[in-house]
Structure 1
């Protein structure tokens, strides 16, 4: 029987360093946010949904808010030392949610089912034991990649809103 990872019977786990304790606290906070966004509301039949799906029901603004909160989790993962590959996978989850979520009705249902934030926390949890091996250079590169991808998502949202405004403007000219 073990008391924790890497300990033998009868040995106590070494105390966490201050940095590790802060990282653990940050991960717990991110996990609570992901749960709130994706699975905080129980439904009959055992299914759970979160507020992200409801936020996404608000035209234009809802998708932008949801994407921002999801991107926040990815940015924090970068600050915790997540690898560039992991951050790209996390941003892909967010990007899928943003693109499909922008489709009226179908996208709203998809937002309830996809749960990008829970997926990203599962990815981060699998990565954390290795994160202590990440160097500062990789962390800076990963943060830059996340910021660029977040800017790309924001650009997609702005272009989508602009296209809708243009479409409505053209329709009003025809009517």
Structure 2
């Protein structure tokens, strides 16, 4: 892909991220929100629609040659945005603050400017997230074991 094509794609993504995350200025505050936050207010499926629209950024990043580890990090930003948005009121506030699309465009810009460093930090992030998830699974497993053991001890007197 030629440099001018990459620049055009990047500008389109910046514009899309602006529309989705920062289009509307809140009067009297130094805060902005976009169409993604408004779409997220639709009960039931608003956050799903927002995530689908946000996936355009990931698709374009893949077309521009972003590595899988960076695409995974972008997908996690969108997933966190969508999952948090399912919590009534607090999720909508989170959606106004998180700005996943602008984060993802910034990640892509960082990659295009300095590919090696961005890939290394993205790998560290993904490995760290994996370690946290494994720790969470172990913790939940141990918690379940001790709860069953306590239940059996109290009600059955087995242990």
Q: Is the pair's TM-score, using the shorter chain for normalization, greater than 0.5?
A: yes
1:48 aligns with 2:52: no
- 2-side partners of 1:103 and 1:116: how far apart? 17
Question: How many angstroms does 1:130 deviate by?
Answer: 4.6
1:70 aligns with 2:70: no
- Structure 1 runs (4+) greater than 6 angstroms displaced: none
Match of 2:22 among 18, 21, 39: 39
DSSP 3-state at the match of 2:87: coil
1:26 aligns with 2:9: yes
DSSP 3-state at the match of 2:88: coil
* TM-score (normalised: structure 1): 0.62
Partner residue in 1 for 2:127:
none
* TM-score (normalised: structure 2): 0.68
1:120 aligns with 2:107: no
Larger Rg: 2
Kindly tell me the number of residue pairs found equivalent between the two proteins.
114
- 1-side partners of 2:114 and 2:94: how far apart? 32
- 2-side partners of 1:116 and 1:34: how far apart? 8
Match of 1:58 among 36, 42, 52: 42
Which structure features the higher share of helix residues?
2
Gaps of 5+ in 1: 1-17, 132-175
- 2-side partners of 1:49 and 1:111: how far apart? 9
Deviation by residue 1:2-30 (Cα, 9 ceiling, x = unmatched): xxxxxxxxxxxxxxxx7211111011001
Deviation by residue 1:61-112 (Cα, 9 ceiling, x = unmatched): 3112100111111111011111111111111100100111111111111111
Q: Show the 5 A alignment for 1:98-109.
A: 98-109=82-93
- 2-side partners of 1:35 and 1:120: how far apart? 12
